[in-house]
Structure 1
Amino acid sequence: MWRSPPSIMYFPPPTRSTTAWRTGFRRAGPSPQIPGLASISPLRHFLVRRHSATQRLQGHDMRTKLFLALLTTGLLAAFALPAAAQDATIVGRHKKKAQQEQPQQPTFAQPDQTFPVGAQWTVSEINGKPVPGDAELTLSIDGNDRGTGFSGCNTWSSTLKPIQGQRLAMGSVALTSKTCPPAVTQIEHVYLGILHSGPYWSIDGSDLIVKSQYGVLRFKRGI
C-alpha cells in the first residue's frame, strides 16, 4: 500500500534578535557603571540599589562618629573647667596661707631717728660674719655731710649724706693709691660698694646697721 510522506512543519524565524530572544529582555539604556559588573548583567538593578544603600550607611556612620567625637569633647571640657577652677582656688588658698605665715621683714629705723653725726664707727661684721683677717673698716660723717674712713687698704673720703627714708647718699669716692693683697682689696671693694649703693641705715642698740642689696654692714661705735 502506498503511504504519503510525513508532512513537514514550518516554524517562522524569530522576529527579535537572537540575543534578545535568548535572554528575554532588551537593553533600556546605559547601565550604572559599577566596578566589576558587566553592563548587561540581570542583577544590575539589585546591585545598584545595594551600592546606594551602602553609601548611605557609610555616610550615616560618619555622621554618628562625628557626633560622638563632638559630644566627648564637650563632656571633657565640661569636666575640665570645674577642675581647673578648683585647682586655681586651692593654689590661691595655699598662696594666701603662705603669705600669712611668712614672717614679717624686720623694719629699719623710724623716720624720727637722727643719724649720729660725728661718731666714729668700725665694722664688726659683713653679711653676718666677722671681718676677715686684720682688715679695719671705719666710717664717720661730720656735720657738713662729709664722710671719711679707712676701707681696709686705703683711706677714703666722699660726700655722705643721710637723706629721707633712712638712707645714705654717697658721692664720688676719693682713695689713696696704696696697693694691698687681693683678699684685702676685695674686702675694700665690698665695703665701699655697699656704702655707695644708697643703703638703708638703722640703730640696733648701740650698733649701726647699714643694709643694701649688696650686703649688710654692722658697725660698733668707737670710744
Structure 2
Amino acid sequence: MRAGAVLAAVAAALLGASSAQAQINNDPGMLRGNEAGGKSSAVPQQKEKQFPVGSSWAAISLNDKTYPIGPSRPYFTLDSQFQLRGFGGCNTFSATAYPLRSQGFAVSPFAMTRRSCGPQIDAAERAFMLALRMVQKWDLVKGQLVLQGMSGTIRADRSL
C-alpha cells in the first residue's frame, strides 16, 4: 500500500511540473521573466526607415561640392522594381539598386549611353557615377537623400 501511495505522489508531482512548463511555454510573458499578466519589459524597437521608392532626385552636391542648376545636373529615380534610372550629367544610365536593412544600399554595374560632353562635364559625370556605384548607406536628412560610400557622399533634393 505504501508503494502505491509513493507512486501516486510521484505521478502527481510530475504532472504538476509538466503543467507548469506548459503554462510557461504558452505565455510569452513568462519566457521574458515576467509574471503572468505583467507588463512587458522589452525595449521598444526603432522603426526602420523605408527608402523613398518612386521618388525622383536631383543631385545637389558631391563631397560638398555643389552642382550648378542647369542641363548637366545629375538626377535619378529608383522605381518599385528596383530599377535605378537617371542622367549623370551627359549620359543616361540604368542599373539595379537595392535598399538593404539598416539603411544599406547596393548598386549593380551601370548600363550607360556613351556621349561625350567635354572634359569638364565628362569628369564630373565620372565622379558622380563612381560615387553612385559605390554607395553603401543612405539616409533622409531634412528632406534630402544622402548617399554615402567609399567614393564620396551625394546629397540630392526631390525633383519633379
Structure 1 length as normaliser, TM-score?
0.48
Match of 2:75, as an amino acid? T
Which consecutive unaligned segments of at least 5 residues does structure 1 have? 1-109
Partner SS for 1:165: helix
Question: Does the alignment pair 1:180 with 2:117?
Answer: yes
Deviation at 1:198, TM superposition (A): 3.5
Equivalent residue in structure 1 for 2:108, among 157, 171, 174: 171
2:81 to 113, 126, 144: 144
Equivalent pair of 1:111/1:165 in contact (CA under 8 Å): no
Please list every run of 5 or more consecutive structure 2 residues that lacks an aligned counterpart in the other structure: 1-45
Q: Give the fraction of aligned pairs with identical amino acids, expressed as a percent.
A: 28
Mapped to 2, the partners of 1:182 and 1:204 lie a distance apart of: 33
Aligned-residue CA RMSD (Å): 1.6
Pairwise CA distance, 1:142? 0.5
Shift of 1:133: 7.4
* SS of aligned partner of 1:199: strand
Q: 1:117 — aligned with what?
A: 53
Partner of 1:179: helix, strand, or coil?
coil
Q: Report how far residue 206 of structure 1 moved.
A: 0.9
On the 8 A contact 2:132/2:154 being kept in 1, the answer is no
The number of aligned residues is 114
Structure 1 SS opposite 2:147: strand
| In 2, Cα distance between equivalents of 1:125 and 1:198 | 14
What is the distance in 2 between the residues matched to 1:205 and 1:164? 21
Q: What whole-Å deviation, never above 9, does each CA across 1:51-71 have from its counterpart, x for those lacking one?
A: xxxxxxxxxxxxxxxxxxxxx
- Three-state SS of the structure 1 residue aligned to 2:102 is coil
What amino acid sits opposite 1:126 in the alignment? L
- So what's the TM-score if we normalise by structure 2? 0.66
* Paired position in structure 2 for 1:218: 155
CA deviation map 1:142-193 (0-9, x unaligned): 0111000000010000001111231221112111121111111111111111
Residue pair 1:168, 1:195 contacting (<8 A) in 2 also: no
- Pair 1:111–1:209, CA change in 2 (3 A): farther
- Post-superposition, which runs of at least 4 consecutive aligned residues in structure 1 deviate over 6 A? none
Within 5 Å, give how 1:1-223 maps onto structure 2. Answer: 112-132=48-68, 134=70, 135-223=72-160
Q: For 1:168 and 1:195, how far apart are their aligned partners in 2? A: 10
